[in-house]
Structures are given as C-alpha cells and as structure tokens.
C-alpha cells in the first residue's frame, strides 16, 4: 500500500514509446509482453497489430504513453509488400490454404495502369482472417472455426500506391495509407482487377505516424541494452505520439489545476483548436479541449 492506503501497482513507473522493429514469426501481443518485461513496466500496449508473417514498425506504449495509443492508431502508415502471382489463399498470405490458381502473370504496364483505381478514398472489404469483431467475436476465430464470415466493405484512404520492382512471378509495392487499410485486401483486390491470382509473400511496415525504421530497434538490440543497464536508451518520450498537436506551456499553478481535473483559462490563440497538449517544464501534463473560454483536461498524464 502507498501512504494514501492505495494498492501499489506492480512494476516500474516507466513512461514512453518503444519503436520496435518486429521480426517475422511472432505476433504483436507476445512482443508487447516481452518489452514490458524488459522494462518491468506497470502498463503496456501497442498501436496497430502486425500479423506474425509481417515485420516492421510496432509502436509499443509503456506507462502513461498508453493514454496516447489512440493517436497512433489513427496515424498514417507506410508499407512495403510483395505479391506472388499464381495462387489465391484463404488468408491472402503464405499462411493460408490455396483456393484458386491461375497462369496469368500481369505485365508491369498492366499493373501500373491498375494502380490509380486503388488510390485515394476507396471501398475495401477487410480479410476474413483479420482481428475485426463480428457480433463480439474476432473474424479470424470464426474463419478458423469454419464458420461463414461476412464482412462489410468500408471506406479507407490510400495516399500513395507505387510499383517499385517486378519479376515474372512477383511484384513489389510501396504504400502510404490511412487508418484501417488492409494490405492483404489491397493485394487481393489488385490481383482480381488484373484477372490474376496472387497473395502476399512479404509485408513490412516502415512507418507509423512520426515513427520510422530509422528510429526503430529490434528485440535483440533492446535485450542487449538491458544487459548493460541501458534499456531506457530505447525509449522515446510520451509526447512523441503527439507531434501534430499544438503545445501550450503552462505555469506550475495551472499544471496543478490540470492534474486535479480542473479547467484553466484559455489563451486567445488557443480558443479555436480542437485539441492541445499542456506541458510544464517539458513534461506532458494533460490533453485539453477548449470550452467557453477555458481549456478542459480530457486526459491527464501522471508523469513525475
């Protein structure tokens, strides 16, 4: 118990983001568990699941950074992926069973001509083997149980869809896209539009919001840092996930008000902004929303 009679949380009060470069062959949830254990952190979560067969950027939030996970979930993302022609599979990747075959091998010219159809605001049906919930159950659980899975199409945004390399059997692409875009569905629909069969044989996420591969770290590298007691070197500040949000430097008095859930007077220049990050001494205090000339705390950070 703490001095106020509250039960102490297990673990250390570690706050920040780990930009993990996830390897192929392991799921997102086990990676979160491993990172939390390395830091002995009280809380952990991740922003955007990566399939076990996918690699790349998996942002993992520790401590108070978990309060900023929704901003990373909504962030734009970038991928490199490869389609292998000739087969369609249940999961749209190498893990699934073959459902159809085709001798069609799209030409580079045909592929380039088809890409504009999949750029901009498009309608997309997520894969049946996905984490989307249907009547409270994950689609992939229903599909693996042999149950019929019907998922409605939904609008997604693809900002850039470029062909970067082709062979007779494969095509490699780079994609910048918005929240909720499934690359496996993009590959499935592109193959169908070309009259071909194809499935994803390489998928690598290269960016999530402000996080890129240049900032990332592998689990092995993080473990090596832990061995020499420098694991904190792999931690990015909580506010990194909020780079696009205007920052208001507040006084110590206002910071104390906000920490206790009380509103503060809004400076004139911050009355027309939807969301504001309040900081005191470069430490995140709260996310604020304007209301009737005041700034109301929406999320308060407990960082000392």
Report how many helices (DSSP H) and strands (DSSP E) the chain contains, helices first.
7, 18
CATH superfamily of 245-300: PUA domain (2.30.130.10)
- Beta-strand runs (E) in the chain: 16-22, 44-46, 55-62, 77-85, 87-89, 98-101, 120-124, 133-134, 137-138, 154-166, 170-177, 198-208, 211-212, 247-249, 264-265, 276-280, 283-291, 294-300
What pLDDT does residue 203 have? 97
The tokens describing 188, both together, are 């499935």
CB atoms within 10 A of CB 121: 9
Is the whole-model pTM more than 0.85?
yes
Inter-CA distances, 235 with 35, 147, 280, Å: 11, 42, 20
End-to-end CA distance of the chain: 19
**Residues designated catalytic:** 51
The mean pLDDT value for 175-196 works out to 96
Q: What residue segments make up the domains of the chain, in order of their start?
A: 16-74+211-240, 77-205, 245-300
272-293: average pLDDT? 91
Q: What is the pLDDT of residue 132?
A: 59
- Residue 288's pLDDT band (cuts 50, 70, 90): very high
pLDDT (tens digit, 9 = 90+) per residue, 140-173?
A: 565 565 566 677 889 999 999 999 999 999 999 9
Would you tell me which CATH number, out of the four given (3.30.530.20, 3.30.70.1140, 3.40.50.970, 3.30.2350.10), belongs to the domain 77-205?
A: 3.30.2350.10
For domain 16-74+211-240, which CATH number applies: 3.40.640.10, 3.30.360.10, 3.30.2350.10, 3.30.1450.10? 3.30.2350.10
Tokens of 172: 């490699």
How many alpha carbons fall within 13 Å on the CB side of residue 242? 28
Residue 136 is predicted with a pLDDT of 59
Band of residue 134 on the pLDDT scale cut at 50, 70, 90: low
Q: Between residues 138 and 66, which one has the greater pLDDT?
A: 66
Residue 137 has pLDDT above 90, yes or no: no
Closest CA to 280 of 302, 260, 257, 254: 254
């Amino acid at each position: 118990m703490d001095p106020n009679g509250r039960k102490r949380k297990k673990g250390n009060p570690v706050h920040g983001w780990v930009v993990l470069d996830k390897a192929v062959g392991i799921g997102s949830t086990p990676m979160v568990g491993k990172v939390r254990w390395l830091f002995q952190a009280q809380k952990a979560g991740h922003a955007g699941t990566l399939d076990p067969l996918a690699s790349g950027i998996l942002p993992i939030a520790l401590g108070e950074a978990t309060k900023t996970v929704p901003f990373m979930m909504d962030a734009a993302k970038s991928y490199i992926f490869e389609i292998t022609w000739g087969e369609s599979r249940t999961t749209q990747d190498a893990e699934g069973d073959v459902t159809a075959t085709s001798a069609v091998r799209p030409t580079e010219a045909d592929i380039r001509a088809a890409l504009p159809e999949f750029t901009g605001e498009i309608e997309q049906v997520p894969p049946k083997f996905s984490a989307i919930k249907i009547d409270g159950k994950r689609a992939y659980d229903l599909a693996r149980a042999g149950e019929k899975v019907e998922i409605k199409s939904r609008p997604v945004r693809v900002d850039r869809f470029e062909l970067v390399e082709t062979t007779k059997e494969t095509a490699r692409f780079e994609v910048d896209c918005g929240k909720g875009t499934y690359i496996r569905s993009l590959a499935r629909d592109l193959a169908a539009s070309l009259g071909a069969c194809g499935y994803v044989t390489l998928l690598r996420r290269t960016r999530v919001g402000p996080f890129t591969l240049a900032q990332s770290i592998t689990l092995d590298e993080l473990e090596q840092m832990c061995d020499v007691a420098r694991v904190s070197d792999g931690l990015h500040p909580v506010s990194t996930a909020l780079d696009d949000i205007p920052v208001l430097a507040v006084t110590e008095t206002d910071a104390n008000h906000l920490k206790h859930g009380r509103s503060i007077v809004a400076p004139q220049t911050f009355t027309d902004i939807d969301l504001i990050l309040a900081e005191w001494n470069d430490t995140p205090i709260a996310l604020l929303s304007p209301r009737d000339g005041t700034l109301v705390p929406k999320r308060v950070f407990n960082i000392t």
